[in-house]
Amino acid sequence: MNIILLGPPGAGKGTQAQHLVETRNMMQLSTGDMLRAARTSGTEMGKIVADVMDRGELVTDEIVIGLIREKLQEGSEGGFIFDGFPRTLAQADALGELLAENGFALDAVVALEVEDEILVQRVVNRAKEAIAAGKEARADDNEESMRTRLMEYYKKTSPLIGYYHAKGALKAIDGLASIDEVQASLANALDG
């Protein structure tokens, strides 16, 4: 089964994806994680994306589509979870083509719904917790970048909700409930 987890920054896509990886043998494809790995690699691409990410803006479609193209070719027995991709209509179209080229179907698009003020609180807390644990917080987990990330989401990513709704693939779930409850609604959306 191949699915997209759609939702604003801080909605819990990564947490839910991790659970699906553990319980369903699926492979998580998080463009955010791939880009964070690229930026620490010291490559030219890494330097270019670091600034853009820290501001909370989107990196180019070309870069992220390239990252996904490579991973899809590897295949995954339990299917793929697209987490943080696609984020633009151009990426959504490209994903459709890549899936078709590799003979894969898109089984569901699950949108996690969470209010903005809660999202801002979550990422600000995530940064505080990281620092309290002696780790480095993500450079974009601060209120200013988070406001930009939210604006990018509404301008460029939220149109995908209509796009996948029109394709009959969209399921929306409440992302405000506890992690376990969200897990249960997600399982329902995928299996029901």
- Tokens encoding 9: 């920054």
User: Which residue, 87 or 171, is less far from ligand ADP as judged by CB?
Assistant: 87
Q: Which of residues 140-179 bind ligand ADP (CB under 6 A)?
A: 140, 149
138 counts as catalytic? yes
By CB under 6 A, tell whether 119 contacts ligand ADP.
no
Listed ranges 38-46, 81-89, 161-169, 176-184: which one lies at the site for ligand ADP (CB under 6 A): 81-89
Enumerate long-range contacts of 185-190, CB under 8 Å, 24 or more apart.
186/16, 186/20, 186/110, 189/108, 189/110, 190/1, 190/3, 190/107, 190/108, 190/110
Structural contact between residues 145 and 50, judged by C-beta atoms closer than 8 angstroms: no
Q: What is the DSSP string of 135-152?
A: PPPPTT-SHHHHHHHHHH
Determine which one of 13, 39, 156, 171 is catalytic.
Answer: 13
Query: Judged by CB under 6 A, which stretch of 15-23, 50-58, 129-137, 179-187 contacts ligand ADP?
Result: 50-58
Contact residues toward ligand ADP (CB under 6 A) are: 9-10, 31-32, 35, 52-53, 56-59, 64, 84-85, 87, 91, 140, 149
